[in-house]
Structure 1
Amino acid sequence: MLGFFESSALSAVLRDGGTVGHTQQSCRVCFSVRFGPLGLGLLLFSALFLSHQILPVSGAERLRLIIETDAGGDPDDEQSLVRFLLYANEWDIEGLIANRLVARDGENQNPERTGLGIVRRLVDAYGQCWTNLVQHDVRYPTRSNLWQRTVAGHGGTDAAVQLLIAAVDSPDPRPLWYSDWGTDQGAATNNLKRVLDRVLRERGPTGYARFKSRLRLSSADKFGMHTAMVEPPFPLWVDTFRPELNGRRWYHRFSALTARAGGFDLVRDCLTGHGPLGALYPTNTTHWQKEGDTGTFLYLIPTGMNDPEEPTWGSWPGRYGANTNFPERPYFWANQTDDWNGVTNRDNTLARWATALQNDFRARLDWCVTGFSEANHPPIVRVRGGAKRIVRIGEKVIMDAGESTDPDGQPLRFEWFIYPEAGSYRGPQPVLANVDRAQASLVVPSVVVQETLHVIVAVTDTGTPALTRYQRIVLTLLPMGAASGSR
């Protein structure tokens, strides 16, 4: 017997004969359940078990994602993997590639001594937390789902190459996001480079261009000639690691800006009392809580503020501008600055969100060891009207987030603000009225050419830790006499 159910009313805890299918959409998750001896009784139990759950629904398309890690080298890959697995509910994870055959002695102290073994050890720990995690969001994939997609990516096997080719060639119309976490000495050749070499050789320029058009990169650059020398360019590449500014590597700044944000305490909130996954977070990195690779997937977390196709907009891992090493190509890196708290610098593009993102990490670590009613969950932000609006000089724009809700029934706090750096308008900033209420407004300023203005509402609950989600409204400001367009 095969049953399909809405995600808000289905238990994924059907371990006795039940299987969870790989999801394709953000608003509905279909599960196939093969009823064993317990039959209908198991189904009724599962419906009751999840009757209290609330699954946040995002209007954004759910992303497909493959990561490649040289776990077994710098232990910060394992730090990032702990956080990554806690966000496994947010994407359709197509693969986890471990490209280091043997762990590096001295620096890496994991008892597993192969890269694949290290990644699978973390997946196993995630699996031990899964029965709790799935109570908070039924989209968390099972341990077996991730295990089947965890492969070695060194020269002795083609498993990673085959995995990548199958994912890109899939009939799924969505592009594939890919992240290399900074392969270094002792790791194998990047597997996407291996794939692109093969595709160019076997399919020729036309097939290569078609294949490459299906990719989006949030990644270090490990692709050799495919980055800039073989046309066409990647449709989008966001380098979340670079550039180095004022002697500071961007991927090193994550530690300095987030480690203790919001009062986060690694020992209290992760290493102890939070289950086997948090306990595997290593501490012997050059920077405390280094997590140098976390930006690659933090960029893809659907917070309501970000759009992965818009790197200049800014979100939790920072704000990105054109990569000057590759002019005229859709390549971006972390070279932007934000004015925040009276100071303008690059750190602010991340620091302004640090408390929110660490509170979110802390809450998900809580989910590893608690049921739904014992933990906090992020608000669901709803703003009336479109997220993109065309407006005219002098028009009063009303923005209403009053339909936002909290899964735990907590009161919500509202903070409206203009994000000037994300838009093109550089004139005097309009005054936002009622910035701490559900409904805010502004009067459109004068412009002589068409400009954009970004307004964001941050909605925060009153739980512990306090959790925040967002909605961005992009206003297109029309000058006098311009065609009205649609609204």
Structure 2
Amino acid sequence: MNTTKLHDVSFQLASEQEKRTHWKNGWRARSYPHYAAILLVALLIPATLRAADKPRVIATTDGEVDDRSSMIRFLLYTCDFDVAGIVEVNSKYQKKGHSAEHWIQEQLDAYAKVLPNLRKHNAAFPDADSLRRVMRVGNENVDDLYVAPPDMQTKDTAGEQLIIDTLLDNDPRPVHVLSWGGANTTASALWKLKTQYPKVKFDYAVSRIRIYCIWYQDGGGEWIQKNIPEAYINEAYQWDNVWDYESYDNARKENKPSANPPFVQEYMKPAWLDANIKQDHGPLGALTPQKYISEGDTPSFLHLVDNGLQAHVDYTLGGWGGRSVYDDPKYPNHISDKKITDDGDRNKMFWRWVPAAQNDFAARMDWCVKDFSEANHPPIVKLRGEPTCDVKPGDTVTLAADASDPDSDQLSCRWWHYADADSANEMLTIANSDSLDDASFVVPNEPGKQIQIILEVTDNGTPTLVSYQRLICNIK
């Protein structure tokens, strides 16, 4: 088969023509050759990421109880991404914020205690002091929740300045700004960049920001969408009832069903949380404040986890953090999951990944207390050949990869067609889908469409862990 010719590329958003095609054809008909090239570069990153290759992130949090649970998980993945900032803000749910309670400092103290053991498993975990140095407080003024940045009473916060400085520094990587609470501090930073800095600096800064909002929890997200249309902003909605307070039947209220299927609910219940996180896993897990898994903010950083999907390069590709689409031509860089489903299920784009994500979390928590030989580690997987290709109708595409396991566990694999995330109309049949190097499929007669294939490789350790690769085929 023909393969794409690579060029020296940087992350860029879809062109206006590509977005119009996306909107016109119901959000699925897309062919992004520049995304394909970017994805190829990303997928060739070795399993142990170099610092310059890691996603870069600023987490903003209102300190709600589920944020505190999410932060514990976040800290266990700081070897997978570079933390440029942790900013405390407020929201319509936590109107005054919680920075005065010093809860993040308490978690960092616990993280410091387990850090020596974590580094037995991955030397890239950062010092607790390096995380303390990038902690800031943003706008926690309740009177500013639904006020436009020019009229806010509280301006020029340390959190706002950290966002500005990060977006203007010389590091070329995109900056993923996660809104676990409100986005007013981020909005104020962008407004200041637009009105008080030279245009060339604003253009540089806004080209690098990638905002992931867990709902719009104040007026900031919508203000950015309408007033800074250059900013890439993801408005995530369908995570609710998957990762939130109703993650299993009757969790918060009697006779209130969960959106999760029964097998997913088992990973969210108190028994799972106690056995895998809270009990006998060290001081960090012991700080978990909830009785069951209800981490509404966790999806915002799951795209950044080094699991092989590389979904952080384009939130519309789909992955552990869900899947979004360009949903309104009036706002060319706004994406959301409000209008889409996976197999007709509005929540499946999140829950389909929960078992793998939860097992991975449990393994990370084991790293806090166990030696390398006693714990499990994800398989190492790499496609043979390029992870993007041009194909023609009728071609037979052979699927092959190499895989190994750090713990010498037995591996099994599954190739599957991620039909919800591509534009092909035909559901593909993959022959020998459980063969690592002898699977194949026939390209349908759909020129101009795109096919997305996912490879899952699962070990038989405890807990079972999954690594992935993604193949994108453009039908010519």
- Please classify the TM superposition score into its range, dividing by the shorter chain length: 0.7 to 0.9
CA contact (8 A) 1:398 1:441 kept: yes
**Cα distance in 2 for residues equivalent to 1:419 and 1:315:** 10
Alpha-carbon contact 2:112-2:128 (below 8 Å) kept: yes
- 1:184-199 equivalences under 5 Å are 190-199=184-193
Give the match for residue 339 of structure 2: 335
Give matches, 1:201-280, under 5 Å. Answer: 201-203=195-197, 205=199, 207-220=201-214, 221=216, 222-223=219-220, 226-234=223-231, 236-241=232-237, 256=258, 257=260, 260-261=266-267, 265-280=272-287
1:464 aligns to 2:462 (yes or no): yes
Relative to 1, partners in 2 of residues 1:57 and 1:199: Cα closer, same or farther, differing over 3 Å? closer
Residue in structure 2 matched with residue 300 of structure 1 by the alignment: 304
Structure 2 CA distance, aligned partners of 1:424 and 1:95? 37
Q: Could you tell me which residue of structure 2 aligns to residue 418 of structure 1?
A: 417
SS of residue paired to 1:297? helix
Is 1:389 aligned to residue 389 of structure 2? yes
Moved more, 348-357 or 92-101: 92-101
What is the distance in 1 between the residues matched to 2:434 and 2:300? Answer: 32
Do the aligned partners of residues 250 and 126 (structure 1) sit closer, same or farther apart at CA in structure 2, a change above 3 Å counting? Answer: closer
CA contact (8 A) 1:65 1:92 kept: yes
For 1:28-427, what aligned pairs fall within 5 Å after superposition?
56-57=48-49, 61-71=53-63, 74-99=64-89, 114-115=99-100, 117-154=102-139, 155=154, 158-183=157-182, 190-203=184-197, 205=199, 207-220=201-214, 221=216, 222-223=219-220, 226-234=223-231, 236-241=232-237, 256=258, 257=260, 260-261=266-267, 265-283=272-290, 288-324=292-328, 327-339=331-343, 344-401=344-401, 403-427=402-426
* 8 Å CA contact retained: 2:239, 2:299: no
Instruction: Spell out the pairing of 1:408-447 with structure 2 (5 A cutoff).
Output: 408-427=407-426, 429-447=427-445
Cα distance change on mapping 1:378 and 1:262 into 2, 3 Å: farther
Give per-residue Cα distances to partners, 1:59-91, cap 9 Å, x unaligned: 9931110011111xx311101101111111110
Residue aligned with 1:475, SS: strand
Cα distance in 2 for partners of 1:294, 1:443 equals: 35
**Which whole-Å CA distance do the structure 2 matches of 1:331 and 1:458 have between them?**
27
Report the 3-state secondary structure (helix = DSSP H, G, I; strand = E; otherwise coil) of the residue aligned with 1:128: helix
Higher-Rg structure is 1
Q: Distance in 1 between matches of 2:274 and 2:86?
A: 27
TM superposition shift of 1:192 = 1.5
The question of whether the paired residues in 1 share the 8 Å contact of 2:395 and 2:442 is answered with yes
SS in 2 for 1:90: coil
Residues 224, 305 of structure 1: CA spacing in aligned structure 2 closer, same or farther, 3 A cutoff? closer
Q: What's 2:254 paired with? A: none
Identity %: 30
Shift of 1:441: 3.0
Structure 1 residues 430 and 175, CA gap change in structure 2 (3 angstroms): closer
TM-score by length of 2: 0.76
* Preserved CA contact (<8 Å) 1:196 1:226: no
Secondary structure at 1:229's aligned position in 2?
Answer: helix
Partner of 2:142: none
Give the aligned residue type for 2:48: P
Counterpart residue type for residue 210 of structure 1:
Y
C-alpha offsets along residues 149-188 of structure 1, whole Å, 9 cap, x if unaligned? 11222459732122222211111111211011123xxxxx
Give 1:394 deviation, angstroms: 2.3
| Unmatched tracts of structure 2, length 5 or more | 1-40, 140-153, 249-257
Q: Which moved more, 1:158-167 or 1:199-208?
A: 199-208
How far did residue 303 of structure 1 move? 1.7
Checking the alignment, whether the CA contact within 8 Å between 1:262 and 1:355 is kept in structure 2 is no
Q: Which sits farther off after the overlay, 55-64 or 154-163?
A: 55-64
In 1, Cα distance between equivalents of 2:51 and 2:393: 29
Q: How many residues align?
A: 403
For the residues of structure 2 that align with 1:396 and 1:121, how far apart are their CA atoms?
A: 56
- TM-fit CA distance, 1:345: 0.6
The root-mean-square deviation of aligned C-alpha atoms, in Å, is 3.3
Q: Distance in 2 between matches of 1:59 and 1:147?
A: 19
**8 Å contact from structure 1 (residues 241, 295) kept in 2:** no
Q: Give the superposition deviation at 1:92.
A: 0.6
Distance of aligned partners of 1:240 and 1:225 in 2 relative to their CA distance in 1, 3 Å threshold: closer
Letter in 1 for 2:174: P
Q: By how many angstroms is 1:214 displaced? A: 2.0
- Cα gap change, 1:86 to 1:249, in 2 (>3 Å): closer
| Inter-partner Cα distance in structure 2 for 1:350 and 1:80 | 16
> Which of the pair has the greater relative contact order for Cα pairs under 8 Å at 6+ separation?
2
Aligned residues of 2:456 and 2:468 also touching (Cα < 8 A): yes
Shift of 1:211: 2.4
In 2, Cα distance between the equivalents of 1:354 and 1:443?
27
Inter-partner Cα distance in structure 1 for 2:355 and 2:222 = 39
Q: Give 1:366 deviation, angstroms.
A: 0.6
2:4 alignment counterpart: none
- Amino acid corresponding to residue 238 of structure 1 in structure 2: N
Structure 1 length-normalised TM: 0.75
Match of 1:50 in 2: none
Contact 2:268–2:294 (CA under 8 A) maintained in structure 1: no
- Tell me the secondary structure at the aligned position of residue 59 of structure 2: strand
Structure 1 unmatched ranges of 5 or more: 1-24, 30-53, 184-188, 479-487
- Per-residue Cα deviation, 1:355-414 (whole angstroms, up to 9, x for no partner): 11110011111111111111000001111011101112222211112x211011111111
CA distance in 2, matches of 1:311, 1:350: 13
Distance 1:213 1:267, change over 3 A: same
DSSP-derived class of the 1:130 partner: helix
